[in-house]
Amino acid sequence: MIGTQTITATHLPKVGDREDFSMRAVGPGETDYNFPLSMTGTILAIWQEDPKHAAEYLTRNILGVIGTASAPPEEGFWFDSYNSGDTLKETADKVRNYGIKSFTKGKIRNAFIRLLGEELFDEKEKLDKFFVSKYGYEFFRSFEDAFEDSQAIEDLSTPAKDNAHFLYRICILSGFIDHINVRVAQESTSVLSLQALKNWLKINLDERRANDLTKTFQMIKNLRKQYPIHEHFTITAEGRRVVRDEIREAKKYFNITPDLERSWLNVFTDFKNSLAEIRKTLQ
């Protein structure tokens, strides 16, 4: 590399258990690149490094690999305990030896799309854009704080071949619901996201349609109660342990059977259709 290069890291507001930076690399010549870089709290604890120093050090190594003729991916870079080494230097060596692919946020996003399906992700984006155009804000807030590492996302892309995989996917959809960004003005943030959405829909539509439009979300929350296992059951007055009524109701609603791949498709399809129905009803 000929000429001088200056790298600066601007610390962004805290979101979840990670440190986010806006990186700027200026020079040599007319080169001027800006891109995000994130490191999880877990990997920083392992490295025992100052976050700003780590961000600048990693950026120098990233640019050393891709050069200055090509711009870094605009999605930026992500470092966690699964794609990184045990030290900052080991991680930089991985970047230099194996390239940037394992550390790009685009890779993480693509895994997320594989998990939930392009159709669902597209429907989510349509709903977000609709809310921005009509109400001035997105339907969902950012999902980034829901994922601690890329390995978990990769694991979630496997088929729902058993109950553990099935419940894992239900937890992801439950996370979607937890990130709904719609609530009545001045409403306390202590009101959970699903109830906040219902309250908002009651005002903007009516109670019946609010309940209809959020029923699938509620049933997913009911299924979510299967994990952890102690929430799966309740004790009757006679002392018998039985499956909770709300879980039985949800299984009937989605037609959950021992064929968990088919059952997952039922849940997935209903969830995707619910997002579309909210958008169409409010248009």
DSSP state of 268: H
Nearest CA-CA partner of 79 in 21, 13, 14: 21
Q: Which amino acid is at 223?
A: L
How many whole angstroms separate alpha carbon 31 and alpha carbon 129?
A: 33
* Residue 276, pLDDT score: 94
Q: Which amino acid is at 217?
A: F
* Residue 16 binned pLDDT confidence (cut-offs 50, 70, 90): low
Locus of tokens 């870089």: 37
- Name the percent of the chain lying above pLDDT 70: 81
How many whole angstroms separate alpha carbon 168 and alpha carbon 6?
A: 44
The CA R_g of the chain, rounded to the nearest whole Å, is 22
* Residue 48, pLDDT score: 93
pLDDT of 159 strictly over 80: no
Q: Which amino acid is at 109?
A: R
On average, the pLDDT of the chain sits at: 83
Q: Which is higher by pLDDT, 129 or 115?
A: 129
DSSP state of 196: H
* Residue 107, pLDDT score: 55
* Residue 152, pLDDT score: 42
pLDDT of 158 strictly over 80: no
DSSP state of 104: B
Query: What DSSP line would sit under 57-102, residue for residue?
Result: HHHHHHHHHHTTTSPPPTT-EEE-TTTS-SSHHHHHHHHHHH-SGG
* Residue 209 binned pLDDT confidence (cut-offs 50, 70, 90): very high
> Buried (b) or exposed (e) across 235-249, using 16+ Cβ within 10 A?
eeeeeeeeeeeebee
pLDDT of 98 strictly over 50: yes
The pLDDT tens digits for 32-64 are 889 999 998 888 989 999 999 999 999 999 988
Give me 8's structure tokens: 């600066």
* Residue 149 binned pLDDT confidence (cut-offs 50, 70, 90): very low
Q: In what order do the strands lie in the sheet with 32-40?
A: 6-11, 18-26, 32-40, 77-79
Give me 182's structure tokens: 């719609």
* Residue 205 binned pLDDT confidence (cut-offs 50, 70, 90): very high
